[in-house]
Amino acid sequence: MSPREPKRAACKTLSAVGALLLVSSLAGNWLLGRLAWRNFAKASEVRLDPAGLKLYATDREHPSSLRQPGPPTLVFFGDSRAVMWPAPRVPGYQIVNRGVGNQTTAQMLLRFEADIVPLHPAVVVLEGGINDLKTLAEFPERRAAIVADCEANLARIVERSRQLGATVVLFNIIGVGKIPLWLRPFWSQEIPDAVREVNAFLPQLAGDKVRLVDANLALDDAHGEIRREYQWEYLHLSPVGYQALDRVLLPIVSSLPK
């Protein structure tokens, strides 16, 4: 073997490693760029339709479609976790979903009069808050205000629902699963703590015509983490996860006077 051959092999190895690092860096930058563009597009979309009223605009244009004659209405109201909730079979009720993905509780409150009031619901299944608390990654200095606003908005939605004569089934904020590597630069360790803080506040809203449901009791394993089979990804539930929530929801709704 020539004395130069080990050096040539080492150079080839270094070149291969360098090329791999370059490709990895380019791929990572491309992914971060795509995420930044997606977030920018979402922000622009919110400016065009702050309350998200376009999603159910067709229903509002045809009032007869808002509430069919017959059984009382149970409406799911919230963010993407609500809109992804498969309609359970609830004897004695007609089911309507008024969830809108990516919405904060402030946006939910903005569209309450348009999306909930015309339905004259007997039951409002309320789920929301995680999108408020996710913003702690961008605005850590506003933590106290973000948490306080989230609590206040949920309280207003609960009270407005009660004024309509509806019973509110209030789900606490579902925790999140393992954060993927690509998301960690856009995440904050303050988010889980803020979720626990808001959830500790929610029992204050329970009472007359308000039933509080601890979703974590239905979803978590013995270690306090959402069961893997109940997760679709870090933020959203799988169909069997929703089935676990239904096993808690349905007995509550069945016990309500009609």
Q: What confidence tier does 50 reach under pLDDT thresholds 50, 70, 90?
A: confident
Judge whether residue 2 has pLDDT over 90.
no
pLDDT tens for 53-64 read: 998 988 887 655
d(CA 176, CA 192): 8
Sign of the CA dihedral 121, 124, 129, 131?
negative
Contact between residue 79 and residue 130 where contact means Cβ atoms under 8 Å apart: yes
Nearest to 77 by CA among 153, 147, 149, 191: 153
> What percentage of the chain has pLDDT greater than the value 90?
67
Q: What is the pLDDT of residues 96-120, one digit of tens each?
A: 999 999 999 999 999 999 999 999 9
Q: Show the beta-strand stretches assigned E in 20-133.
A: 73-78, 94-99, 123-127
Q: How confident is the model at residue 182 (pLDDT cuts 50, 70, 90)?
A: confident
Q: How many alpha carbons fall within 13 Å on the CB side of residue 199?
A: 18
Question: Domain residue spans in the chain?
Answer: 1-48, 57-254
Amino acid found at 113: E
The answer for 106, left when phi > 0, alpha when psi is -120 to 50, beta otherwise, is: alpha
The residue among 119 and 35 whose pLDDT is bigger is 119
pLDDT at 21: 61
**pLDDT at residue 37 tops 50:** no
Could you tell me what percent of the chain has a pLDDT over 70? 79
Residue with the bigger pLDDT between 61 and 178: it is 178
How does residue 4 score in pLDDT terms, banded at 50, 70 and 90? low
Q: Is the dihedral of CA 228, 232, 235, 241 positive or negative?
A: negative
76-89 confidence digits (pLDDT tens) = 999 999 999 999 99
Q: How far apart are CA 150 and CA 129, in angstroms?
A: 6
pLDDT band at 33 (very low <50, low <70, confident <90, very high): low
Chain segment 140-176, per-residue pLDDT in tens? 999 999 999 999 999 999 999 999 999 999 999 999 9
Least confident of 24-38, 52-66, 111-125: 24-38
pLDDT recorded at residue 51: 86
Kindly report the CATH class assigned to 57-254.
alpha beta
